[in-house]
């Protein structure tokens, strides 16, 4: 038993992995569930708003303005305030206001607002001539959205998704401060409240590595899905070799 | 077969209404290539979009094989569009799809089975001579090859009408020639009615059976290409085949513009004219070619002072129209062509 440590609350170095790794797992679960919801809602919502705009497939000014406003409100609230303000709603849905389930609700709302804007932006950068081509080729509105809009925007959507995932890792840390678990919870309870610098450093290292991995994976996927990028052909071949 | 009946398109309402197309009337028979030519802003793309029904005509109708397409609902339109294949300007291929996947697009929309799609795509790519490039992405193809893919895609649903809006614009002359040759071949083999829209007079000469000139939303002149080229009073004929920059005529000579107006101009007409008038003929500029099997051409010649009526008469016997140019008007044809391009 060591008596040299000035603070008996400090976690021994050997125990840090046992503390941090399950926390990382919780963070990944929170972000994973959130991002699934975000993509499932954000893509149709972004595509809908894009096509309600002027020149879109279902041009409708009133609907466009309304939906745009709702998304803007979601985008403009700082996450901490959003999270606190919707606690009654969160409790209604999940029956609790702490834990992973409770964190997923505000994270999904913030994430959907974020991603919807990204989808809109990505779709706006697809040349509108593709929609004319698709129409002239006999496509239905849904087929046109899928093939002439979303499919052409895939690299840009993946780039946006990468930024979105990183933002959600950050939000999960904020949610951690109110007891949602995960890396953020460990950083606050051990690193901040108990002045355990070793744990603090460990959480920082883990977050930096996680974010870097997400970014690298995202960048690689963007290259792979862009036929006119120099490395795309190579990465596709490598992937094909890896799967087979 | 496609025909337009008093097709009119107005953009905007009230004070801000702009009539982009007014009372267009023409038809393109099966097996015919009909070119519409006109300067930028004339309304050519608007015409294209009214024909494939991406835009609804304000009034008048578009009739394909006897069916009036302008009255249909949005869902019926999707079906009707299958009878019209559209070749777009160079930006028409989806960048993330290979040549084969681009050609497959209309079949995929229609719900054709993968096996049938594969067979049909292979056949279409072969048809346009691109089988070896099936798995290339658009950025790996040349401009001419991309347009071939566009043509194959336009043909996927076996349309009876092919619509092309500036399909050769921006291509080098060699690619343009190969695309126009392909279109003629398809017209012959499949009996397509082809509506070929362009701002390039040169290309019209290569491809068209008939041509109409669109200017500020009106068709100002139209007819069979060969007839227009043989008609000395046709502005469109002159614009299509401008009189080349001629040498100055020598001292004591007048410049004359000669145009082929008959089908039977003798090949040695210069000698024949010289003999008939008993004077030497100086050749100052000439352009003679065979278009759609007929010889057309024009020339600028210098003649010593001859009797005007007698000269015109002698030329007419050879199947030519002769017009004397007053001094300083030698390059009148060229000047007209230039003002054309500036418009
Ligand atoms: N959607 C539109 N709304 C209003 N005016 C338009 C629209 N599309 C085209 N126009 C106008 O119609 C005219 C013809 O355009 P366009 O058909 O593109 O000509 P072209 O293809 O011959 O260059 C132009 O003056 C253009 O400004
Ligand atoms: Mg145009």
**Which of A2 and A195 is assigned the larger pLDDT?**
A195
CATH code for the structural domain at A23-243: 1.10.3720.10
Q: Do B54 and A136 touch (CB under 8 A)?
A: yes
CA of B198 to the centre of ligand 2 (A): 8
Phi/psi of residue B232, nearest 5 degrees: -65, -20
Q: Do A136 and B139 touch (CB under 8 A)?
A: no
B91: which chain A residues are within 8 Å (Cβ-Cβ)? Answer: 127, 129
> pLDDT digits over A170-179, tens only?
999 888 877 7
> pLDDT digits over A69-117, tens only?
999 999 999 999 999 999 999 999 998 888 888 899 999 999 999 999 9
Distance CA B286, CA B299 (A): 4
**A146 close to A105: Cβ distance less than 8 angstroms:** no
- What does the pLDDT read at residue A236? 60
Question: Chain-wide mean pLDDT for chain A?
Answer: 90
Q: What is the dihedral of CA A26, A28, A34, A38, to 10 degrees?
A: 180
Q: For residue B289, give the nearest of B260, B319, B322 by alpha carbon.
A: B260
**A198 close to A13: Cβ distance less than 8 angstroms:** yes
Q: Do A151 and B110 touch (CB under 8 A)?
A: no
CA of A106 to the centre of ligand 2 (A): 49
Question: Chain-wide mean pLDDT for chain B?
Answer: 91
Query: What Å distances lie between residue B158 and A104, B146, B152, CA to CA?
Result: 52, 20, 10
Paired tokens of A138: 């006999």
> pLDDT digits over B135-155, tens only?
999 999 999 999 999 999 999
State which H helix or E strand residue A161 sits in. helix A151-175
Say which range, A43-47, A52-56, A128-132, B77-81, has the weakest mean pLDDT: B77-81
How large is the average pLDDT for residues B30-55? Answer: 95
The answer on pLDDT for A4 being more than 50 is: no
> pLDDT digits over B294-316, tens only?
899 999 999 998 899 999 999 99
Distance CA B252, CA B282 (A): 12
How large is the average pLDDT for residues B245-268? Answer: 90
Is B2-224's fold the same as B235-342's?
no
Say which range, A149-158, B67-76, B190-199, has the weakest mean pLDDT: B67-76
Distance CA B182, CA B190 (A): 12
Binding-site residues on chain B for chain A (CB distance < 8 A): 49, 52, 54, 78-79, 81-82, 84, 86, 88-89, 91-92, 94-97, 105-106, 108-110, 137-139, 153, 156-157
- What does the pLDDT read at residue B341? 46
Q: Do A133 and B88 touch (CB under 8 A)?
A: yes
Burial of B71 (0-12, 13-18, 19+ CB in 10 A): exposed
Say which range, B1-5, B39-43, B238-242, has the weakest mean pLDDT: B238-242
- What does the pLDDT read at residue B332? 46
- CATH class of the domain comprising B2-224: alpha beta
- What does the pLDDT read at residue A133? 95
CB neighbour list of residue B22: distance below 8 Å, 6 or more residues apart: B8, B217, B218
Local structure of B6: helix, strand or coil: strand
CA distance to partner chain B, nearest, from residue A224 (Å): 11
Give, as residue ranges, everything with CB less than 5 Å from ion ligand 2.
B 44-45
- What does the pLDDT read at residue A11? 85
A127: which chain B residues are within 8 Å (Cβ-Cβ)? Answer: 91
Q: Is B11 in the pocket of ligand 1 (CB under 6 A)?
A: yes
CA distance to partner chain B, nearest, from residue A48 (Å): 19
Q: Is B39 in the pocket of ligand 1 (CB under 6 A)?
A: no
| DSSP conformational letter for B111 | T
- What does the pLDDT read at residue B107? 97
Q: Is B40 in the pocket of ligand 1 (CB under 6 A)?
A: yes
Query: What Å distances lie between residue B211 and A191, B51, B118, B187, CA to CA?
Result: 81, 17, 37, 16
Closest ligand 1 atom to Cα of B38: 22
**B184 close to B176: Cβ distance less than 8 angstroms:** no
- What does the pLDDT read at residue A36? 98
Q: Which residue of B has its CA nearest to A151?
A: B96
Paired tokens of B43: 């309304």
Q: Which residue of B has its CA nearest to A152?
A: B96
Q: Regarding beta strands B18-28 and B33-37, do their DSSP bridges make them parallel or antiparallel, or are they unpaired?
A: unpaired
| DSSP conformational letter for A78 | -
Distance CA A49, CA A45 (A): 6
Q: What is the dihedral of CA B163, B169, B171, B174, to 10 degrees?
A: 70
Q: Which string of DSSP letters, residue by residue, matches A148-159?
A: IIIHHHHHHHHH
CB neighbour list of residue B293: distance below 8 Å, 6 or more residues apart: none
Please name the member of B54, B96, B105 whose beta carbon is closest to the beta carbon of A227: B96
**A131 close to B54: Cβ distance less than 8 angstroms:** no
- B334: confidence class by pLDDT, cuts 50, 70, 90: very low
- What does the pLDDT read at residue A25? 94
The answer on pLDDT for B338 being more than 50 is: no
- Most confident stretch, A150-159, B70-79, B254-263: A150-159
Name the H helices within B191-234: 201-207, 225-230
**Which of B247 and B337 is assigned the larger pLDDT?**
B247
Q: Is B342 in the pocket of ligand 1 (CB under 6 A)?
A: no
> pLDDT digits over A5-63, tens only?
455 678 888 888 899 999 999 999 999 999 999 999 999 999 999 999 999 999 999 99
Q: Do A152 and B95 touch (CB under 8 A)?
A: yes
The answer on pLDDT for A238 being more than 70 is: no
Distance CA B160, CA B2 (A): 9
Phi/psi of residue A106, nearest 5 degrees: -65, -35
How large is the average pLDDT for residues A195-203? Answer: 91
Global pTM reads 0.87
- What does the pLDDT read at residue B330? 47
Distance CA A204, CA A211 (A): 11
Going from N- to C-terminal start, the domains of chain A cover 23-243
Q: Which string of DSSP letters, residue by residue, matches B163-191?
A: EEESTTTTS-HHHHHHHHHHHHHHHHHH-
Paired tokens of B236: 């469109």
Going from N- to C-terminal start, the domains of chain B cover 2-224, 235-342
The residue among A58, A136, A233 with the most chain B CBs within 10 A of its CB, best to mutate, is A136
Q: Which CATH superfamily is domain B235-342 in?
A: ACT domain (3.30.70.260)
- What does the pLDDT read at residue B263? 87
Q: Do A136 and B105 touch (CB under 8 A)?
A: no
The answer on pLDDT for B58 being more than 50 is: yes
Calculate helix-pair angle for A99-124, A16-52, nearest 10 degrees.
40
> pLDDT digits over B88-117, tens only?
887 789 999 999 999 999 999 999 999 999
Query: What Å distances lie between residue B319 and A38, B243, B265, B285, CA to CA?
Result: 78, 18, 5, 18
């Amino acid at each position: 038993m060591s008596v040299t440590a000035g603070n008996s609350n400090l976690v021994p170095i050997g125990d840090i992995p046992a503390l941090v790794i399950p926390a990382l797992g919780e963070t990944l679960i929170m972000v994973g569930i959130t991002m699934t919801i975000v993509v499932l809602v954000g893509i149709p919502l972004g595509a809908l708003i894009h096509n309600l705009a002027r020149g879109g497939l279902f041009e409708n000014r009133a609907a466009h303005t309304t939906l745009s406003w709702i998304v803007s409100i979601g985008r403009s609230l700082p996450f901490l305030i959003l999270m606190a303000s919707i606690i009654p709603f969160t409790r209604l849905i999940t029956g609790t206001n702490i834990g992973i389930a409770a964190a997923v609700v505000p994270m999904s709302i913030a994430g959907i607002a974020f991603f919807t804007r990204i989808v809109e932006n990505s779709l706006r950068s697809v040349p509108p001539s593709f929609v004319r081509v698709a129409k002239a080729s006999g496509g239905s509105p849904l087929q046109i959205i899928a093939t002439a809009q979303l499919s052409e925007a895939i690299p840009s959507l993946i780039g946006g998704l990468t930024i979105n995932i990183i933002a959600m890792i950050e939000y999960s840390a904020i949610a951690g401060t109110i007891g949602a678990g995960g890396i953020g919870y460990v950083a606050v309870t051990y690193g901040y409240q108990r002045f355990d610098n070793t744990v603090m450093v460990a959480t920082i290292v883990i977050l930096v590595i996680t974010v870097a991995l997400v970014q690298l994976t995202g960048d690689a996927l963007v290259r792979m899905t862009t036929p006119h990028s120099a490395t795309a052909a190579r990465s596709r071949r490598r992937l094909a070799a890896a799967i087979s | 077969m496609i025909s337009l009946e008093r097709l009119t398109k107005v953009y905007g309402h009230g004070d801000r209404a702009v009539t982009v197309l007014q009372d267009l009337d023409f038809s393109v028979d099966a097996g015919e290539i009909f070119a519409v030519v006109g300067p930028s802003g004339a309304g050519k793309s608007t015409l294209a979009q009214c024909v494939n029904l991406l835009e609804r005509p304000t009034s008048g109708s578009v009739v394909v094989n006897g069916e009036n397409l302008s009255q249909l609902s949005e869902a019926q339109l999707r079906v009707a569009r299958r009878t019209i294949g559209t070749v777009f300007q160079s930006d028409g291929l989806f960048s993330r799809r290979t040549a084969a996947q681009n050609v497959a697009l209309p079949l995929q929309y229609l719900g054709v089975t993968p096996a049938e799609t594969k067979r049909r795509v292979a056949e279409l790519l072969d048809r346009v001579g691109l089988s070896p490039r099936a798995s290339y992405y658009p950025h790996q193809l040349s401009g001419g090859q991309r347009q071939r893919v566009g043509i194959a895609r336009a043909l996927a649903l076996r349309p009876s009408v092919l619509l092309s809006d500036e399909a050769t614009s921006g291509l080098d002359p060699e690619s343009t020639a190969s695309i126009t040759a392909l279109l003629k071949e398809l017209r012959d083999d499949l009996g397509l009615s082809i509506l070929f829209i362009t701002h390039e007079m040169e290309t019209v000469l290569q491809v068209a059976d008939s041509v109409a000139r669109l200017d500020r939303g009106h068709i100002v002149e139209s007819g069979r290409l060969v007839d227009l080229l043989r008609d000395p009073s046709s502005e469109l004929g002159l614009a299509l085949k401008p009189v080349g920059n001629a040498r100055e005529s020598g001292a004591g000579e007048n410049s004359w513009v000669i145009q082929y107006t008959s089908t039977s101009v003798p090949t040695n007409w210069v000698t024949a004219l010289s003999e008939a008038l008993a004077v030497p003929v100086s050749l100052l500029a000439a352009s003679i070619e065979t278009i759609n099997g007929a010889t057309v051409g024009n020339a600028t010649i210098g003649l010593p002072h001859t009797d005007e009526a007698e000269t015109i008469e002698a030329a007419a016997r050879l199947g030519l129209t002769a017009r004397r140019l007053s001094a300083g008007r030698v390059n009148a044809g060229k000047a007209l062509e230039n003002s054309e391009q500036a418009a």
